[in-house]
Amino acid sequence: MRSVSGILIRKLCMTFLTSPAVYSHSWTIWTPWYTLQLLSSRTSPSIPMPSYGLTKRGIRFLLLAIVFKIWGHYKEYETSKDVKYLWSANHAHSSGWGNVMQDYVMNALLAHTTGRSFVFDDYIWRPDGTLFTDYNGHLIPSRIPLTALLGGIIVGGEMPPGDTTPRAVSKDFFNKVCPNPTVVHVTEVNDDRMRFDESVPASYIFEKWLEKINSIEDPCVEIDPKSDAIFEYWIFGHERMLSIWKYLKDSPVSTHWGWSPLIHDAYRRNRHIFVPNAKSTFFEGLSGSAVTENYTAPIPGLLALHVRRGDFQDPLLVQVRVESEEPLTHVYIMTNGAVAWIKSSRDLDITWEQKFVVQALDMLVAQRSEVFIGNGWSSLTSNVVMLRMAQSFPPDSNRFW
């Protein structure tokens, strides 16, 4: 029988493998496989623990390296009086990843533009403290650390050279260093005209919030958790949102967007699907090795197609004619529906942990495809196009069906 202390050590190590910027107790929820082991010491683990190609000694060294590398700014900020923070406690939850990501992007953009550290939280399906949520008859984690989905500056990664904006921190750290923040209610800025008048550009709302946040001297600012979102969902689906691009296109929030090590690992496990003609080396087959790859570089010849469940009833026929320097040689279909007639994201080889964040893998692949065909009513599609534009993909490489 595994000891509880042994399970906790393994759990902590796994968290740092998937969550490089986690601080404090956020790790206690992830992953549910380990949580189940903790709930019953009599449980016999019939499901094998996923192998990540690391020895116990390798995990210890990796854990120590992450502690020294990632926690550096936490320790520094804990005693600093110069760091300012913005915690959007009203962030989106109980929604699909596409909608939540849109909200995170705008909150992070507001924090960065005002020179404040962005405070991040978990990806939350159910905010009532439960461990699991019944989703269409299946149990899913109620909370997933954001660092299981994302890497980069939004979860505490280093800012680009020359950018002096404080790095992001977790909600738990913010609560520790800011026990009595200034709380701002959204209604202090947003009036009915700003919310509902379609002639009011989103940039106007953003600029009003820049004025509000910049007028506050308190380094600790929290958006009231009971407030509506600053940018409500209907604004994201309207052309008034286009005016935000002048702020977003050169911001590291978009230009230095990153996915988590867990997502990169899922990509490597399925690389033969996305890059079928890639030459492999002897070392790539060894346990613990990793393909050295630029995770923002285009994947030559790849066409990524986003088809949501319910968007098709009969086999989908897609005819594509795209002017490209390189011929399109293979297709990857992103879908949450059963597609018996073609290989798709439903056929990926993923671990149990990756199962709950696989939508981020789809986005990574679509972000890098030579041509992307999305649909005009999906937040996932719009997020992919945003990332592609921020990373200088040709505008005409983005299509809609």
Q: What is the pLDDT of residues 138-153, one digit of tens each?
A: 888 999 999 999 999 9
Domain boundary among 254, 279, 314: 254
Asked if 232 and 124 sit in the same domain, the reply is yes
- CA 354, CA 144: separation in Å to the nearest integer? 11
Asked if 299 and 241 sit in the same domain, the reply is no
Residue with tokens 């570089």: 297
- CA 376, CA 332: separation in Å to the nearest integer? 19
In the predicted structure, residue 339 carries a pLDDT above the cut 90: no
Domain boundary among 192, 221, 254: 254
Asked if 373 and 388 sit in the same domain, the reply is yes
pLDDT value of residue 324 = 56
Q: Which residues share a beta bridge with 333?
A: 305, 344
3-state secondary structure 41-84: CCCCCCCCCCCCCCCHHHHHHHHHHHHHHHCHHHHHHHHCCCCC
- Of 289 and 21, the one with more pLDDT: 289
Asked if 302 and 326 sit in the same domain, the reply is yes
Asked if 177 and 144 sit in the same domain, the reply is yes
Give the Cβ contact number of residue 279 at 10 Å: 6
Which of the four pLDDT bands, split at 50, 70 and 90, describes residue 237? Answer: confident
> What does the mean pLDDT of the chain come to?
79
H helix and E strand count, the chain: 15, 15
Give the Cβ contact number of residue 115 at 10 Å: 14
C-alpha pair distances (Å), 197 with each of 102, 227, 234, 238, 239: 21, 19, 11, 11, 12
pLDDT value of residue 375 = 85
Give the Cβ contact number of residue 123 at 10 Å: 25
Asked if 248 and 286 sit in the same domain, the reply is no
Asked if 216 and 275 sit in the same domain, the reply is no
Domain boundary among 229, 254, 279: 254
Asked if 202 and 313 sit in the same domain, the reply is no
Range of the domain at 354: 261-400
pLDDT value of residue 401 = 79
Asked if 280 and 356 sit in the same domain, the reply is yes
In the predicted structure, residue 320 carries a pLDDT above the cut 80: no
| N- to C-terminal Cα separation, the chain | 54
- CA 123, CA 178: separation in Å to the nearest integer? 22
pLDDT value of residue 279 = 63
Asked if 268 and 220 sit in the same domain, the reply is no
Asked if 205 and 278 sit in the same domain, the reply is no
Which of the four pLDDT bands, split at 50, 70 and 90, describes residue 288? Answer: very low
Domains identified in the chain, total number: 2
Asked if 122 and 222 sit in the same domain, the reply is yes
Q: What is the pLDDT of residues 42-96, one digit of tens each?
A: 223 333 333 344 454 554 555 555 555 555 789 899 989 899 999 999 999 988 8
Q: What is the pLDDT of residues 250-285, one digit of tens each?
A: 999 999 999 999 999 999 999 988 888 766 554 454
- CA 194, CA 174: separation in Å to the nearest integer? 30
Q: How large a percentage of the chain has pLDDT more than 90?
A: 53
What CATH code is carried by the domain that includes residue 302?
A: 3.40.50
Q: What is the token pair recorded at 289?
A: 């090795």
pLDDT value of residue 137 = 85
Torsion of CA 68, 71, 74, 75, to 10 degrees: -30
Query: Beta strand 85-88 with 220-223: parallel, antiparallel or unpaired?
Result: parallel
pLDDT value of residue 16 = 37
